[in-house]
Amino acid sequence: MTAYVVRRLWQMIPTLAGVILLVFFLFKYFGGDPAEILGGLLATPEQIEAIRDQLGLNLPVWEQLWIFVRQIVSFDWGRSWATSEAVSSIFATRLPATLTVMIPILLLEVALAIPLALGVAHVRGTLTDRGIMVLTTVALSISFLVYVIVGQWLFGFTLGWFPVQGWSDSFLVNLTRYAVLPILLAVAVGLAPQLRLYRSFFLDEIGQDYVRTARAKGLTERRILLKHVLRNALIPILTNVAVVLPGVFVGSFLIEVFFSIPGLGREVLLAVNRSDYPVIQAVTIYLAALTVLINLVADVLYKVVDPRVVLK
């Protein structure tokens, strides 16, 4: 296990190096001139040239690339062009709000989708199964924006159960008051596709020969589903969670905008509108690193879930 993890960590280096080069050259040659963006429309050529010198844009390309790599390793991206706030400070102050929303969404989606999908797979072909599949299809057909608008109107303005906007310095207050409605709406949107997908995983396992053998040996259906079917289906489920997790992080960006949550996602969207390159580059690089690490954790969990899996 240790040798596999070390080998995978070494294999991450070329992948992350490729991401770093791609981001660097995309922003350098296709992202517009940072000096002109910072200088504005009224800046003189002398002022733009001074900004170039200040940002190091007149240095050779390899020196600029080295500075970029140093920023990644040291977590020091300088300051935001729009607000002059340190990028490291933006991460430190905005990330907790994003995690307050993102982690419960992921946990609730997985915790609800797995037992529901297993139950639906157990009653496959029945009226209950068909009804739930119809409901999930309808849910998939509705835009997330519709969920937000209807949810804010119904639960926020009409019933007054949850506040539509607001945030505080207390984690418990945020989690139990301000984040409840966005979390519930996000789970309602994400549960339908996960339920359908996990149901297909369970149905594939239920149709295997070992399930028929277990039934022939007299094992109860409950024991077969929980001990054998669930365990074998966890491998594709872990793969799906690893794929979905970065998407949940990006999806929380829209939630933060709709509910005015002061998280990292809203800051990224503001940075895009302002052409605030340091913030955009930092989030892009670290999101790529997070994706690679999530894939590694998923591979290790395969071995935990099923000891028969051989990591090579």
Query: pLDDT band at residue 19, thresholds of 50, 70 and 90?
Result: confident
> Which residue type is seen at 250?
V
| CB-CB contact of 23 with 71 (8 Å) | no
> Which residue type is seen at 145?
L
One-character DSSP codes across 2-58: HHHHHHHHHHHHHHHHHHHHHHHHHHHHSS--HHHHHH-TT--HHHHHHHHHHHTTT
Query: pLDDT band at residue 41, thresholds of 50, 70 and 90?
Result: low
Weakest-pLDDT range from 76-85, 117-126, 213-222:
76-85
pLDDT above 70 covers a percentage of the chain that reads 92
**46-102 confidence digits (pLDDT tens):** 777 787 777 777 778 888 888 888 888 887 777 777 777 888 888 888 888 888 888
Q: 198: domain range?
A: 98-276+300-305
Total domains in the fold of the chain: 1
* Helix and strand counts by DSSP (H, E) for the chain: 14, 0
Which residues contact residue 198 at a Cβ distance below 8 angstroms, ignoring those fewer than 6 apart?
113, 114, 117, 118, 233, 237, 240
Query: pLDDT band at residue 24, thresholds of 50, 70 and 90?
Result: confident
Query: pLDDT band at residue 280, thresholds of 50, 70 and 90?
Result: confident
For residue 27, tell me if it sits in a domain.
no
| CB-CB contact of 282 with 77 (8 Å) | yes
Segment 287-303 shows an average pLDDT of: 80
| CB-CB contact of 193 with 133 (8 Å) | no
Long-range contacts, 296-299 (Cβ 8 Å, 24+): 296/5, 296/8, 296/9, 296/12, 297/242, 298/238, 298/239, 298/241, 298/242, 299/4, 299/8
Q: What is the pLDDT of residue 303?
A: 73
Phi, psi of 79 (to 5 degrees): -120, 155
For residue 184, tell me if it sits in a domain.
yes
pLDDT of 306 strictly over 70? no
Q: Collapsing DSSP states into helix, strand and coil, what is residue 86?
A: strand
The CATH number linked to 215 is 1.10.3720
| CB-CB contact of 249 with 283 (8 Å) | no
For residue 115, tell me if it sits in a domain.
yes
For residue 152, tell me if it sits in a domain.
yes
Q: What is the pLDDT of residue 311?
A: 60
Weakest-pLDDT range from 56-70, 195-209, 222-236, 238-252:
238-252
Weakest-pLDDT range from 3-12, 126-135, 178-187, 284-293:
3-12
For residue 13, tell me if it sits in a domain.
no
For residue 17, tell me if it sits in a domain.
no
Q: Taking the model in full, what pTM does it have?
A: 0.78
For residue 128, tell me if it sits in a domain.
yes
For residue 9, tell me if it sits in a domain.
no
Q: Collapsing DSSP states into helix, strand and coil, what is residue 312?
A: coil
